[in-house]
A and B are shown apart, each in its own frame.
Chain A
Amino acid sequence: MADTGVVTVYGNGAIYETAKKSPFSVKVGLAQMLRGGVIMDVVNAEQARIAEEAGACAVMALERVPADIRAQGGVARMSDPQLIKEIKQAVTIPVMAKARIGHFVEAQILEAIGVDYVDESEVLTLADEENHINKHNFRIPFVCGCRNLGEALRRIREGSAMIRTKGEAGTGNIIEAVRHVRSVMGDIRVLRNMDDDEVFSFAKKISAPYDLVMQTKQLGRLPVVHFAAGGVATPADAALMMQLGCDGVFVGSGVFKSGDPARRARAIVQAVTHYSDPDVLAEVSCGLGEAMVGINLNDEKVERYANRSE
C-alpha cells in the first residue's frame, strides 16, 4: 500500500477514488461477476474443490467454519496464510478470506498473498471496537456485513465494494438474515418515496453519509453488490434470499456441516440460479440428506455475532 495513502473523500463526485491502480469500479466489477452465484466457506483444499465442482462462484478460505467457532469459542483470527495459499492453488474460482474487524494488518497480509476479496467479518473476534478498516487504503476489494441500510452505507463510505447481510453465522437459522435483508430493502423503499427535503434528516437518523443516502435514493438499490449471508442452510433458504432481492448468497456452515456436502452445495447453487422457479427448487430440494443442526436464537445464551459491530 505504498503508492496509496491519499484519500480524497468528497472529491468531485468520485467519492470512492483512491488508489489509482485499482479504481472503485474495478473493485465492484468482480463482485458484479459474482452476481447470481453462491460463495461457500471451506476449510481445506479438498472442500474447496468440492465447492468448485458444485458450481460455487467463489470460496471463503477459513480455519474453522462459523458453527465450529461458536462451538469451540476462544479468539477467532485470520486463517493461516499457508492454508489460504493452498486453497488458492487448488481452485480457479476467486478465493476470499476473512480479516478481523479493524485489523488492517491482517488485511495487508491477505492483500500480499493475493486473495481476491477480503471479508472484514464480525464472525471473527473484533480487533477494534470503534473503527473498521479504512478500505480506501487497499487495492484489494472488501466485503462487509450489515444489519440495516445505515450500517451498509457506512461500510461503503469506508471503501467496501460489496455488502452482505450479517444474519447470524453458524446457526443454520435464517431468521436474522431475513430480518436484515428486509430492513435494508424496506428502508430503501421508504427512502425512494421520500421528499428530497427529508433525506437530510433521514441520513442523520440512520447515521449514514448524506451523499450515499441520496445516491441510494436515486438508484433504488445499494450502490454496490448486495449478498445475503448468515444462516443459509437449504436451497429454499437461498432462493428466499434471492426472491427478497439479494444479488447472491454466502453459505457458511450450511454446506460442510450437512450430511452430504457435495449434493447440498450443488442444490444450493441451482436454487440460486433458478430462484423463481418452484419446480426446479422442488426437484433440487429432494433427498439432500441431513441439514446442519440449527440453533434456536430465542436462547439467550447464544452470542449474537451480528451485534458485535455497528
Chain B
Amino acid sequence: MSIVGVLALQGSFNEHIAVLRRIGVKGVEIRKPEQLQNVSSLIIPGGESTTMAKLAEYHNLFPALREFVKMGKPVWGTCAGLIFLADKAIGQKEGGQELVGGLDCTVHRNFFGSQIQSFEAEIEAPELSSTEGGPETFRGVFIRAPAILEVGSEVQVLANYPVSSKPTKGSDSNSAEGGQEGNTSSQTRVIVAVRQGNLLATAFHPELTADTRWHSYFLKMMGEGSSSSSIDSVGTDSHIIHPPPRIDFPIYQ
C-alpha cells in the first residue's frame, strides 16, 4: 500500500490525512527534509502560505521539496500549496516568499480578497468527472484563495471559475501591484485547477468537503507515474512524544 506524505508545517494537513484515511490510504505528516525519503508522493495542504514558507525555510525544506518535484514524484498543492508549486506568484508579502516552483504558471496570491469574500461554489470539472465519475460539478471551497492568471503550454487546465468584473477589491496592498496584471488581460474566467505532468494544483480545498474524488484522482497519478519504490516504515524518532491522536474535524455540508 502506498503512503502519501502530507506537509504538516501548518494548515489543513489533518484534514487531508482524514480524507486519505476515508479512501483507505495512509497519510503521514512530513515536517523534516529526511522524512520526504519515505514517501512516494506529497500533498502540500492549504494554510497560510507565508507561514508555511517561513517554517519550511527554518527547517531547510525547500531544497528537498524541489528535489522531490524534480524527480517527477506526484505532488499536489491546495490553496497555499498551489502558491508553493507555482513558478511565479504575485501579491506577496513585502520581500516576497520562497517558492518550490515546477508548475509553469503565474499565481495571484489572495486573488479573491479577504475572508469576507471567501465563498463556496459548484464548479465544473469535466476531466475529474470523466475519470472519477460522479456529478459533473464539485463543491469548491475558496478561503482567501489564490487564482491562476496564466499557464504555460504544457499545463492542462482542469477547472476554471467565472469572475464577474475586475479582480475583487481585495486588500488594498495586493491590488496595487497585482491588480494591474489582472486587469490588462481583462479576463472573465480565472483558472482554479491545473495539472502538469505529475503536478496537480487546486486553488480550492477538496479536503474540507466530503467529495473524495480529487484525492482519488491524485492517487491515480501515482499509479501512472513512478513505480513506487518499496517503502520502509516511516522513520520515527524515538524521542517524539505521542500525544493522543487528533480527532477528525467535522465536514460542514
- Across the interface, B8 reaches (CB within 8 A) one of A36, A141, A278, namely A36
Mask of A261-276 contacts with B, CB within 8 angstroms, 1/0:
0000010011011111
Residues of A within 8 A of B253 (CB): 14, 25
**Residue contact A37 to B51, C-beta cutoff 8 Å:** yes
* A55→B240 CA distance, assembly (Å): 23
* A243→B240 CA distance, assembly (Å): 12
Of A114-122, A165-173, A229-237, A285-293, the one with at least 4 CB within 8 A of chain B: A114-122
B94, B250, B252 pick with most chain A CB within 10 angstroms: B252
* A16→B120 CA distance, assembly (Å): 15
The answer, yes or no, to whether A105 is at the interface (CB within 8 Å) is no
**Residue contact B8 to A30, C-beta cutoff 8 Å:** no
Of B20-28, B64-72, B110-118, B186-194, the one with at least 4 CB within 8 A of chain A: B110-118
* A295→B13 CA distance, assembly (Å): 36
B129 to chain A, nearest CB (A): 22
Residues of A within 8 A of B143 (CB): 26, 29-30, 32-33
Residues of A within 8 A of B241 (CB): 243, 276-278
Of B42-50, B150-158, B216-224, the one with at least 4 CB within 8 A of chain A: B42-50
The answer, yes or no, to whether B109 is at the interface (CB within 8 Å) is yes
**Residue contact A56 to B51, C-beta cutoff 8 Å:** yes
Residues of A within 8 A of B174 (CB): 92
B54 to chain A, nearest CB (A): 4
- Which residue on A lies nearest to B80, using beta carbons? A33
A residues 36-72 with Cβ under 8 Å of B? 36-37, 49, 52-58
- Across the interface, A115 reaches (CB within 8 A) one of B114, B144, B169, namely B114
**Residue contact A53 to B116, C-beta cutoff 8 Å:** no
* A278→B237 CA distance, assembly (Å): 11
**Residue contact A116 to B114, C-beta cutoff 8 Å:** yes
The answer, yes or no, to whether B235 is at the interface (CB within 8 Å) is no
* A215→B251 CA distance, assembly (Å): 12
B residues 198-247 with Cβ under 8 Å of A? 205, 208, 237, 239-244, 246-247
Residues of B within 8 A of A209 (CB): none
**Residue contact A25 to B141, C-beta cutoff 8 Å:** yes
- Across the interface, A33 reaches (CB within 8 A) one of B58, B144, B172, B244, namely B144
**Residue contact A111 to B48, C-beta cutoff 8 Å:** no
- Which residue on A lies nearest to B139, using beta carbons? A25
The answer, yes or no, to whether A93 is at the interface (CB within 8 Å) is yes
- The number of chain A residues with a CB under 8 A from chain B is 61
A85, A116, A117 pick with most chain B CB within 10 angstroms: A116
The answer, yes or no, to whether A299 is at the interface (CB within 8 Å) is no
- The number of chain B residues with a CB under 8 A from chain A is 55
Residues of A within 8 A of B240 (CB): 276-277
B residues 80-129 with Cβ under 8 Å of A? 80, 91-94, 109-110, 113-116, 118-120
B13, B48, B173 pick with most chain A CB within 10 angstroms: B48
**Residue contact A29 to B205, C-beta cutoff 8 Å:** yes
Residues of B within 8 A of A91 (CB): 93
- Across the interface, B55 reaches (CB within 8 A) one of A24, A58, A269, namely A269
- Which residue on B lies nearest to A242, using beta carbons? B243
Residues of A within 8 A of B47 (CB): 33-37, 57
* A277→B241 CA distance, assembly (Å): 6
The answer, yes or no, to whether A22 is at the interface (CB within 8 Å) is yes
**Residue contact B58 to A270, C-beta cutoff 8 Å:** yes
Q: Given A29-B143, A270-B58, A274-B31, does the pair A52, B116 have CB atoms closer than 8 Å?
A: no
The answer, yes or no, to whether A205 is at the interface (CB within 8 Å) is no
* A269→B54 CA distance, assembly (Å): 10
Q: Given A33-B79, A114-B171, A117-B115, does the pair A93, B51 have CB atoms closer than 8 Å?
A: yes
The answer, yes or no, to whether A245 is at the interface (CB within 8 Å) is yes
Residues of A within 8 A of B46 (CB): 32-33
B185 to chain A, nearest CB (A): 22
14 contacts between A and B (CB under 8 A): A21-B119, A26-B119, A33-B79, A36-B14, A57-B11, A89-B171, A92-B110, A94-B114, A114-B169, A114-B171, A139-B116, A140-B115, A270-B55, A276-B241
B→A interface (CB under 8 Å): 8-15, 31, 46-48, 50-51, 54-55, 58, 79-80, 91-94, 109-110, 113-116, 118-120, 141, 143-144, 169, 171-174, 205, 208, 237, 239-244, 246-247, 249-250, 252-253
Going nearest first, the 3 A-B pairs with the smallest beta carbon separation are: A25-B252, A55-B54, A116-B115
A sample of 19 more A-B contacts (CB under 8 A), given A111-B116, A115-B115, A215-B250, is: A23-B252, A26-B141, A34-B11, A35-B11, A35-B12, A36-B14, A37-B48, A55-B54, A89-B171, A90-B173, A92-B174, A93-B51, A94-B115, A114-B169, A223-B250, A242-B243, A274-B31, A277-B237, A277-B240
